[in-house]
Amino acid sequence: MMKYTFSWSIENYSFCWHKNGEVLVSPKFTVEGMEGTAWTFELYPRGKFEENKGRISLLLMREYDDGPESFSFESDLSICKENGDTLLWSESAGVLVMRKGRGFGKPSFVDIDDVLVRRKSEYLRNDTLNVRCNMWWGEGKIQRMGQTCARTRIAVKKISFIHLVEGFSSLEPNHSSTVKIGYHTTEGCIISSNLYCIGDSCSEENIMFEITSSGIKFLSKCLVSFLDGFGLKIPCGQANNQIHRSVKLPLSLTRKAIMNRKRKYLTDDKLSLKCELIFSMGLEFETIEEVAYEKPAVAYEIPREFISKYKASAELSECSGALDEVKKLKVVCLKFLEDNLDASTASELLLLADTHCDSHLKKIAEDFIFQHDAEVFSSDVWEDFIDENPQLALETMHLMNKRKKEVN
């Protein structure tokens, strides 16, 4: 039996611009010993079909190649860590008989927010998504193995500028043409920013910030920060994973909050904002970077044997009992934290989960905040949380807003 592995790494994955139904295709895999067949991955960053919205679709497709009309094999698909450890895995149901132009896979393979938000540190280390397909064909034990690695990089362009609002205290509410500046790149792109206040009360107005662009395909990320009197950045607005040429977002502080802290935010009645934008510019390159044809299976088994011997060592055996006790203690602590969760402790639990990269605990905190958002976001504790952890607070509020839209 022969086993072959296709691996595909997508750099700058969080800058995928693809809408629902739009596909990102890997370089073509061709393998000696596979009877002239050729294969590609098809990945739909926002789902292949309407019913897959909110999920990533992953398929392995056979090309219209020079091989036989049909090719039989068994297979699996997975998303892996940088070191090759499997994060998510799906196996084909028995032997597949693949004709030219056909494929197999999972139209709803993984939740988009798991990859881009909740478990981003696991799925997108260095902002790279790694997918893998193993294929087996023939009879008996695995005698020969091979591997081909491909890489695709999404090109990005970073642009930043200062947006200065003079006479902020006299800014009129609901004024659509409050402030506008232009920014010209070397490619002739024009980027405009607008800041305006909305609301019924002159003191409680929310501040909106809007970015529009022309000449660049997709605005992927936008980070807006207040600049205090010392030039230090205070994040106040963020939009991630956009697929449009414009973005509109509310800033984290109201007009009243800024006016109450003039010394910090206003210098000579001027409000300074730093705007940092990242645009997706299409594919920078795609290539097959490593091919290992039909090595003996033992060449791949040596590390596994070494690990088995290490695990059998006396030192590891002594540690296993202590690790079991730690796991039990963790379960007890999680139960206590969950049972005592309220509006005043939700932000603490969220920070704890984020610090320790605990996706399960973080989801508990996020679910509670989603169900009690008005109570949590209006609390003094959350105001302090925004000051101390602005990035995490903005990510959470963005996720809550997205979930509300999906529910409605």
- Backbone dihedral region of 54: left (phi > 0), alpha (psi from -120 to 50 degrees) or beta? left
The CATH number, out of the four listed (2.60.40.1120, 1.25.40.420, 3.30.365.10, 1.10.1530.10), of the domain defined by the range 323-407: 1.25.40.420
Band of pLDDT at residue 108, cut at 50, 70 and 90: very high
Q: Which of 356, 318, 349 is nearest to 335 (CA)?
A: 349
Is residue 12 a contact partner of residue 124, using CB atoms and an 8 Å limit?
no
Pairwise CA distance, residues 291 & 269, whole Å: 62
Lowest-pLDDT range of 55-59, 100-104, 150-154, 254-258: 254-258
Pairwise CA distance, residues 187 & 215, whole Å: 8
Q: Both tokens of residue 147?
A: 């591997």
Mean pLDDT, rounded, for 221-247: 82
Per-residue pLDDT at 308: 39
Band of pLDDT at residue 294, cut at 50, 70 and 90: low
The residue type of 113 is D
Q: Cα dihedral sign for 75, 128, 18, 45?
A: positive
Residue given tokens 């890997």 in the structure block: 26
pLDDT digits (tens, 9 = 90+) for 7-62: 999 999 999 989 999 999 999 998 777 888 999 999 999 999 999 999 999 999 99
Average pLDDT, whole number, for the chain? 80
Q: Which residue has the higher pLDDT, 349 or 24?
A: 24
Per-residue pLDDT at 203: 53
Q: Which residue has the higher pLDDT, 153 or 137?
A: 153
Lowest-pLDDT range of 114-118, 177-181, 198-202: 177-181
Q: Which residue has the higher pLDDT, 323 or 224?
A: 224
Long-range contacts of residues 72-75, Cβ cutoff 8 Å, at least 24 apart:
72/96, 72/97, 72/98, 72/137, 73/98, 73/135, 73/136, 73/137, 74/135, 74/136, 74/137, 75/104, 75/133, 75/134, 75/135, 75/136
The residue type of 301 is E
Per-residue pLDDT at 314 exceeds 50: no
What are the boundaries of each domain within the chain? 2-141, 156-282, 323-407
What single string gives the DSSP state of each residue in 285-322? EEEEEEEEEEEETHHHHHHHHHHHHHHTSHHHHHHHHH
Global pTM reads 0.65
Per-residue pLDDT at 259 exceeds 70: yes
Cα three-residue angle 116-122-124, rounded to 5 degrees: 50
Mean pLDDT, rounded, for 264-285: 87
Q: Which CATH architecture has domain 156-282?
A: Sandwich (2.60)
Residue given tokens 């060449």 in the structure block: 299
Judge whether 2-141 and 156-282 match in fold: yes
Is residue 238 a contact partner of residue 249, using CB atoms and an 8 Å limit?
yes
Strands 270-296 and 218-227 come out as: antiparallel
Q: Both tokens of residue 282?
A: 């299409």
Query: Residue-wise over 296-311: b if at least 16 C-beta within 10 A, else e?
Result: eeeebeeeeeeeeeee
Band of pLDDT at residue 292, cut at 50, 70 and 90: low
Task: Give the CATH class of 2-141.
Answer: mainly beta
Band of pLDDT at residue 317, cut at 50, 70 and 90: very low
Pairwise CA distance, residues 222 & 278, whole Å: 7
Q: Both tokens of residue 342?
A: 């309220």
Q: Which residue has the higher pLDDT, 208 or 216?
A: 208
